[in-house]
Structure 1
Amino acid sequence: MPNPNPFGHSLKIALLLACTALVSACTTTGPTTTQGPAPVVQRPVDPVVTTPTDAETEVPDETETVVNETRAESTDIPDEPERVQAVPEGTYYNNRDGLTPPHMAGRDTKRLALLLPFSTSSSRLAQEAQSMYRAAEMAVFARDDTDVLLIALDTKGTEDGARSATKAAISAGADVILGPILANNVKAATAEARRSKTPVIAFSTDQNVAGNGTYLLSFPPEAEVQRIVDYVSSTGTTRFAFLGPDSAYGRRVKAAYEERVQQNFGEVTASETYQGNDISVMQAPAQKLARFHAEGEALARRNNNTTPMSFEAILLPEGGTALRSLAPLLPYYDIDPADVQFIGTSRWADPDTVREPALSRGLFAGPDKDTQQPFLDAYDRTYGETASTLASLAYDAVMMGAYVADGDPKKRYDRAENQQGFYGVDGLVSFDADGRPERGLAVYQILNGRFVVVDPAPRTVIGGS
């Protein structure tokens, strides 16, 4: 039976700090220790890539979802991890199994290639890559075993870069590829990795790039929508409304919402969208929904309340300032939060959200914060800064990748599709052959100025064996 909990390792921060301090004088070899074998993290290699076109240097719409409201807001590109320009003679050698440090010779080395956009033109994405790289290092040093070689490669945030990085990873004998982030980069990496049947554990939220040996270790908005709709439907709600942005993210959420409501034998009775995130573009759609709701209420009263209300719950897929602008419009136009349940996605998980009175009692689905907090605390203690939005995914990817890489190479896909799933700092996740993540999400309610778990995230896969 496969290991049901391959992520079950405690963070060993003392070990991480010790290993980080004992970097060899030859900086291109990555962190090593002077006391016998230790986990090895190779610094990012700079593969040869073509010069990106102007279109490629633009940040795709997907970053709105993937790196939404990252905790680091500096506009400067941070110092990138040191790159290997040349491999010093005797430091690494290639044997028939792949890239191997001398002290790991003869060992059953698990080679994990980490593909991230270290030198992308987007400062926000470059910061994300830096933080994810550091989290991956933490995972390597936190493992009980010292058999993981992490090979970091720069995709530059382009398709050509991802393609070249994947070729370099395969040439180095990578057992599993971790990354990239952006959907078009994942697609390019998958095309190369598939030729050698190398599993890819990527970080995109675009479910269209999953499958063919590519597994998305991410939090797609569709999963959050499904979770919150299932929970609200279980309370007896059958009539739903939608009010959200006409954006790539908004359209994905809306499509998933309509599908899941129907699967729960409900109905989306009203739907309004707007373009932009300013309150001026939100007013007319909110007022139109309020008018529809008032007409439904009036009809119900004329029929002695035997006619159903127009809607009982409304999805507001916004976050930050946009959410705090949108939510108050509904009670302003006489949609009472005491009568209509306000619901949302993980974009609600912002400390400022609880300060908006209109969102009191509101419900949303998101990752289990209790499982994430120890990692976030450890990252802060180690690096003296807050982990980025996707850093925890990189940590879990290393743990999952080591599990997938362990054993018969012909069965790596089978191990990735372990029916019991994987439990990490981001909670439970499992995969089928389609590569799309089945996430264990919690349901939160805003009560008395804080987020309260009203339905915990599952810790085991239902039906798993």
Structure 2
Amino acid sequence: MNKISKLIISTMIIIFYLTNSYANEDTKLKIGLLIPISGENYELGQSITKAVRMAMKDINTDKLEIIIKDTKSDPATTLKSANELKLEGINLTIGPVFFESLKYLDEIEDMIFLSFTNQTIDLPKNVISSGVNSTSQLNTIKKFLEDNEIDNTIFLIPKLNYEEELKKSIKKSRIKISKTHFYEKEPTKLTNQIEKITNYKIRKQNLEDELYRLENSNEFNKEKKIEQLKMKYTLGDVRFNSIIIADFEESLKSVTTSLLYSDVSPKDKYFITLNQWFDKSLINEKDIQPIYYPSINKDNFEKYKLRYQLDFEEEPNHLSLLSYDLVGLVYYLSFKNNFDLSDINKIFKRKNSFKGKIGIFDIKNNEINHRLNFYKIENKELIKIF
């Protein structure tokens, strides 16, 4: 082979590699976004879209492209949109938002969906729950109990559709629970159940018996003792030191009110609940304080809300913060894998951690858990414990 032929071949090889190099630089990794942009939940979809735009602006990369498809919060529409994303070569999608929308997604192979749901039971095998699930919350409560050497904890769970989810999380978190009670939401039934759980009638009878005994005794200074007893509602302690209440908003207040009626005070026993998303109405409920709960990083949440309001002149939905973090998570994992998501199933099986605004995302075995903060409300003030 003469020198000219060799030069031509060498030049062709260089051009080939340079062309491929530029092509790879220009190639964008496409990620799906399945959200309701029409239908009854379209406003939530708009909030998520805006948060995703914020995230993409902050990441500032030309290697990532988000392709949005409508779910209409409907399982059939979700499946149709997911198939459209797959036809575009997409194998990783943020969304859907609601658990009900996941119904048919197991029909799609070689594709992973990072759903906003916090439910972990009965998920299709290609769906990863990215919401703040109950296991993450119980892990945080467990840390608080252990740090403060609090034992004899009981768990109150309403008879609703997340009983099994909480049972699974109790087992998975290995939190020490002395007894679990399932209660009715109807006020009269609830009050009767709380009375039984707290042995209210026995403790009330104990007080009446002791008053009767003193009144008919010759004990020294019995008048003062009787006066002190008459200031009480019951006599005798309950068989727990802390109580976890898996409820929210007005239903949570109904349970705590029933506990107060049964003479169980948060001043004497720890009242703990699940993530309340910084429900401001709890600040004014001084009678049920202190009350404790796990949640996301509040400082980051407030900064995010302020920026969102400045950019869009409206309040963000708290799920939009999750979407902001999920874009960051996807970019982080893509970067770690040189923007090659061809083996998508292995990526979420490997152990990884990502620090988002919500907190730290722990990824392993196709699961996402969150390292949360822990707060208490006392004297009408929200206080971060850790």
Which residue of 1 is the match for residue 222 of structure 2?
none
Q: 1:259 aligns with which of 164, 171, 178?
A: 171
SS of the aligned residue for 1:346 comes to coil
Instruction: Provide TM-score, normalisation by structure 2.
Output: 0.77
Counterpart residue number, 1:52: none
- Offset, 1:190: 4.3
Which residue type is aligned with residue 437 of structure 1?
A: I
Aligned match of 1:109: 28
* 1:32-71 superposed matches below 5 A: none
Quote how far apart the aligned CAs of 1:234 are: 3.7
Q: CA deviation at 1:401?
A: 2.0
> Match of 2:193, SS?
helix
Q: Which residue, out of 186, 198, 201, partners 2:111?
A: 198
Point out where structure 1 has 5 or more consecutive residues left out of the alignment: 1-103, 299-306, 456-465
**Number of the residue aligned with 1:350:** 279
Query: Helix, strand or coil: the match of 1:201?
Result: strand
Q: For 1:188 and 1:317, how far apart are their aligned partners in 2?
A: 30
Cα deviation, 1:396-426, whole Å, max 9, x if unaligned, reads 1222223334433334444445534111121
TM-score, normalised via structure 1 length:
0.65
Q: 1:39-66: per-residue Cα shift (whole Å, max 9, x none)?
A: xxxxxxxxxxxxxxxxxxxxxxxxxxxx
- Equivalent position SS for 1:396: helix
Instruction: Rate the CA distance shift 1:173–1:257 in 2: closer, same or farther, 3 A.
Output: closer
- For 1:208, what is the secondary structure of its paired residue? coil
1:383 corresponds, among 312, 315, 319, to: 312
Which structure 2 residue ranges, 5 or more long, are not aligned?
1-22, 207-235
Whichever residue aligns with residue 440 of structure 1, its letter is R
Q: 1:389 Cα shift?
A: 2.3
Which of 413, 430, 447 is equivalent to 2:362? 430
1:453 aligned residue: 384
Give the superposition deviation at 1:273. 0.2
Q: Give me the identity figure in percent.
A: 17
Question: Which deviations, in whole Å up to 9, do the C-alpha atoms of 1:184-203 show, x marking residues without a partner?
Answer: 423523431xx2x2332211
CA deviation profile, 1:159-206 (whole Å, cap 9, x unmatched): 2111111110011122421111222423523431xx2x2332211222
CA distance in 1: counterparts of 2:57 and 2:164, whole angstroms: 41
Q: 1:417 to 1:409 in 2, by over 3 A?
A: same
Which secondary structure does the structure 2 equivalent of 1:365 belong to?
strand
Letter of the structure 2 residue corresponding to residue 216 of structure 1: S
The secondary structure found in structure 2 opposite 1:353 is helix
1:147 aligns with 2:63: yes
Matches of 1:401 and 1:325 in 2, distance apart? Answer: 41
Match of 2:297 in 1: 368
Give the residue type in structure 1 aligned to 2:248: G
In 2, the alpha carbon distance for the partners of 1:378 and 1:132 equals 14
**Distance in structure 2 (CA, Å) of the matches to 1:266 and 1:282:** 21
Q: CA 1:258 to 1:198, structure 2 compared with 1: closer, same or farther past 3 Å?
A: closer
Q: Equivalent residue for 1:214?
A: 127
Deviation at 1:113, TM superposition (A): 1.0
Which string of whole-angstrom CA distances, capped at 9 and with x for unpartnered residues, describes residues 369-388 of structure 1? 12222221111111111111
One-letter amino acid of the counterpart of residue 368, structure 2: P
User: Given that residues 343 and 363 in structure 1 are in contact (C-alpha distance below 8 angstroms), is that contact kept between their aligned partners in structure 2?
Assistant: yes
Corresponding residue number in structure 2 for 1:90: none
Aligned pair 1:288/2:196, yes or no? yes
Q: Which residue is equivalent to 1:409?
A: 341
Alignment-mate amino acid for residue 340 of structure 1? K
CA contact (8 A) 2:199 2:238 kept: no
The amino acid of 1:267's aligned partner reads: S
Give the residue type in structure 1 aligned to 2:156.
L
1:225 matches 2:138: yes
Distance 2:159 2:326 in 1: 32
Does the aligned pair in 2 maintain the 1:427–1:440 contact within 8 Å?
yes
Matched to 1:439, the amino acid is: H
* Residues 200 and 264 of structure 1, relative CA distance in 2, 3 Å threshold: closer
Q: Per-residue deviation at 1:343?
A: 0.6
1:265-276 paired onto structure 2 within 5 Å: 265-268=176-179, 271-276=181-186
The whole-number CA distance in structure 1 between the counterparts of 2:106 and 2:94 is 11
1:132 aligns with 2:33: no
1:165-176 map, 5 Å:
165-176=81-92
